[in-house]
Amino acid sequence: MNAPQSTSTLAPTVKLLINGQLVESKTTQWRDVVNPATQQVLARVPFATPEEINAAVANAKEAFKTWKKTPIGVRARIFLKLQQLIRENMKELAAILTAEQGKTLPDAEGDVFRGLEVVEHAANIGSLQLGELANNVANGVDTYTLNQPLGVCAGITPFNFPAMIPLWMFPMAIATGNTFVLKPSEQDPMVTMRLCELALEAGVPPGVLNVIHGGEDAVNAICDHPDIKAISFVGSTKVGTHVYNRASLNGKRVQCMMGAKNHAIVLPDCNKEQSLNALAGAAFGAAGQRCMALSVVVLVGEAQKWIPELVEKAKTLKVSAGTEAGTDVGPVVSCQALSRVEGLIERGIADGAKLELDGRKPSVAGYEKGNFVGPTVFSGVKPGMAIYDQEIFGPVLCIAEAADIDEAIAFINANPNGNGTAIFTQSGAAARKFQEEIDVGQIGINVPIPVPVPLFSFTGSRASKLGDLGPYGKQVVMFYTQTKTVTARWFDDSTIAHGVNTTISLK
């Protein structure tokens, strides 16, 4: 697939990062990075050539020879410095992110902060990467494990969290002793590049962190390159499945966090006001462009009468540019995304869902060219409707109904995706039943977006995840390391020889 051609020759260019240097690409294929609120061209991003991709991997491979032997304390201190630099530059990072992605400034800071938490966790690598030892497993024999790095690893990140998700990947990979090649989203790579510049300032050596840009060809090159040992991916189910299959066939470790259709069950015993506020925030925040957005609400029993109040909550949210004070819902990332969301709203009407609130074509003074769609609410949504079966990735909330909690759980478990879910209730028994019976990776109990902190691992089930280990937390240390098991016996001059032992036992 060829890159969309840039329409601007005056905008600054996004650089590649190869061997510690910001490099101007020699490509002839460029894409514009566009402010989604104004359509202003902010920069041009290159689609790296095969030679540039190979150079990034080759430098990472060479750097691994020395980086893997770097003392663990040295690695940890780099990430202590990086977290300091991120905190000092938080406002700048958020401003860049808002300009190219469209999030509100507070939400952009939240994007950076959730990535910062993983950087802080990476600074604790000294305890995270410990092996195990069993003393005297046999007479004078000890067995212990070493968790050693793999080599060159790679990450492919999406447009919706251009700070957080790169920070999920390269800090933990590098802290465990690997080197890294990152391919950020070509739609909004600028904040990612600024974070990588800060990583260099923090002390990441040349070649340890490299960045290439591109589309499908770059993704395939990463999947096929023989010197890349592991790939972390976050993005759509279609691309993730392709990455998993192609890279796995090439013998690589792969973790793919993919599409979602996240549900929330609302029981009538919940704290009504608190729950309605949580639903509106989780459904419409970030313009619905979160893989953990609550896009389906299952109202149980008497809670089905709360639809008008939920619609009124949605109507109070301000739609505007992310830089405007008080904005709740910014633009979606591109004109193509806007067209898709509007098309799916039209499909919802055609499929028979009731449009309770139409957010299409909102009036946003001063930003008439922006990619805006306001909060939209459908009721009477059922499987088989396009708005239920597809991930809309916009501020569209679907409402379904269930007679009781058993019907609601069965409804959610019948969906092919298993990324995130939540229940709103004041019943401990109902909450425990929910967490035991639901087949979904992240579960919230009165928490609308249950993304775990880095002490734990981001998970997922069914069509939302491929690969058995998730990003960050304990699982990612396992993903980025190879376990060696060593069984050792040492003899001294007083040891008595017992002759030849032809058995497999240790005595």
CA–CA distances in Å: residue 59 to residues 108, 226, 228, 361, 476: 32, 14, 12, 49, 24
CB-CB contact of 180 with 26 (8 Å): no
The span from the CA of 450 to the CA of 457, in Å, is 12
CB-CB contact of 11 with 41 (8 Å): yes
The residue type found at 460 is: G
The residue type found at 255 is: Q
The residue assigned the tokens 């294929």 is 29
Torsion on CA atoms 429, 432, 436, 439, rounded to nearest 10: 110
Catalytic residue list contains 291: yes
**101: three-class secondary structure by DSSP:** helix
Residue 129 token pair: 């990467």
Instruction: Starting at the earlier edge strand, list the strands of the sheet with 354-357.
Output: 354-357, 376-379, 396-402, 294-300, 262-266, 420-424, 442-445
Q: Which of 256, 291, 335, 398 is catalytic?
A: 291
Residue 347 — φ and ψ, nearest 5°?
A: -65, -40
DSSP 239-277: HHHHHHHHHHHTT-EEEEE----EEEEE-TTS-HHHHHH
CB-CB contact of 205 with 177 (8 Å): no
Estimate to the nearest angstrom the gap between the alpha carbon of 256 and the chain centroid. Answer: 9
Burial letters for 168-200: b for 16+ Cβ neighbours within 10 Å, e otherwise?
bbbbbbbbbbbbbbbbbbbbbbbbbbbbbbbbb
The span from the CA of 35 to the CA of 92, in Å, is 16
Residue 330 — φ and ψ, nearest 5°?
A: -90, -170
Angle at 268 between CA 308 and CA 359, to 5 degrees: 25
Residue from 360, 363, 400 nearest 378 by CA: 400
The span from the CA of 102 to the CA of 330, in Å, is 6
Instruction: List residues bridging with 143 in a β-sheet.
Output: 134, 487
Strands 21-23 and 16-18: antiparallel
- The conformation of residue 13, written as its DSSP 8-state character, comes to B
CA–CA distances in Å: residue 421 to residues 18, 365, 381, 481: 40, 36, 17, 30
- The set of catalytic residues is 291
